[in-house]
Amino acid sequence: MPDYLTEPAFDHGYTPKTGVLLLNLGTPEAPTAKALRPYLKQFLSDRRVVEIPRAIWWLILNGVILNLRPKKSAEKYASIWSKDGSPLLVHTRKQASLLKGLLGSQGQQLVVEFAMRYGQPAVADVLQNMRSQGVERLLVVPLYPQYAASSSGTALDEVFRTLMKLRNMPEVRTVRHYHDHPGYIAALAASVRQHWQQNGRGDKLVMSFHGVPRYTLDKGDPYHCECLKTGRLLAEALGLSGNDYTVCFQSRFGKAEWLKPYTFDTLSSLAKQGVGKLDIICPGFAGDCLETLEEIAMEGKTLFLAAGGKEYRYISCLNERDDWIAALADLVLNNLGGWITTPPDANMRQLRARSHGAKQ
């Protein structure tokens, strides 16, 4: 018999609610080796993340990685940790709050929460809380624009594993990806234009996406193609030619081949080719985190300048931009069709105008 989660007793008189659950990767509770070890163990034990034989990986993970990497990772986290905590946690919490507020201003009283695939707040805890609030219809939105089994796939796995422990399960819908959503592309383009207006336009725009092993493409992940499409659509929105931008992949781990070209190789090569002023953006992240603030904004800058580049400018993730929150609201409303009352036409037009037509 399943080990059921504790649920409120059924009440014939209560009003069912619709909920939206935003999902992100996760973060350790503190920038310390002690906090990093359980976080990394949970993350790197995920079969969706590491797909090599379990016995071999268990020895590598527990015998080498968890004894060496926590200290190094803690130092990296410490370099970007804010007074409010992990940037990813801070941004995701704010996005959920702003999304709820914007939808509420459009007449939609939804339960909007967020959870992390690894670490806290845990998916099981948040879902149990949503059920206690009377959520009978649930929309799950992984905050990864491009689908990969190791990101969106495993986030949805965790939701379904939790739902299997509920006796009274809610209706469920999921968002698979939004790599070509017009509002998302418009918000990215507006952020680049704003950067150019404030700092001048660089000689090259680099679009760096999170990397995954090359074999995932051969096994059927659409991630590579969706990243390239996002890059192409963003370039078109900015009026860039093929020589004005490049798409690459960061965060390589281990010795296996990953999606190419690699970001750090690209930065070094561009500097040596004479690109003096470089702009770089990470379209695959909904909020700034370790991979953007430390790996790209800090390590990438050091590498580019050391290779002969003159000026390196990191463009922040969408974070809490109004046009991005509007795009997220539009994505949610489109996927809640039939579950909620459609806002008045004027309000809907205003919402979509903010999402699709934002200029900065």
Extract the annotated binding site.
210, 291
DSSP three-state, residue 111: strand
83 by Cβ neighbours in 10 Å (0-12 / 13-18 / 19+) ranks as: exposed
Residue at token pair 């206690």: 132
DSSP state letter for 245: E
Percent helix, strand and coil across the chain, each to the nearest 5: 50, 20, 35
Q: Are 230 and 145 in contact (CB under 8 A)?
A: yes
Q: Are 231 and 283 in contact (CB under 8 A)?
A: yes
From residue 69, alpha-carbon distances to 38, 61, 119 in Å are 12, 10, 17
Residue list for the binding site for Fe(2+) = 210, 291
**Beta-bridge mates of residue 262:** 249
Maximum Cα–Cα distance for the chain, whole Å?
Answer: 70
Task: Give the number of other CB atoms < 10 A from CB of residue 184.
Answer: 26
Residues 272, 16: Cα–Cα separation, whole Å:
61
Residues 254, 307: Cα–Cα separation, whole Å:
24
- Residue count of the chain, please give it: 360
- The structure tokens listed for 251 are 């965060």
DSSP three-state, residue 21: strand
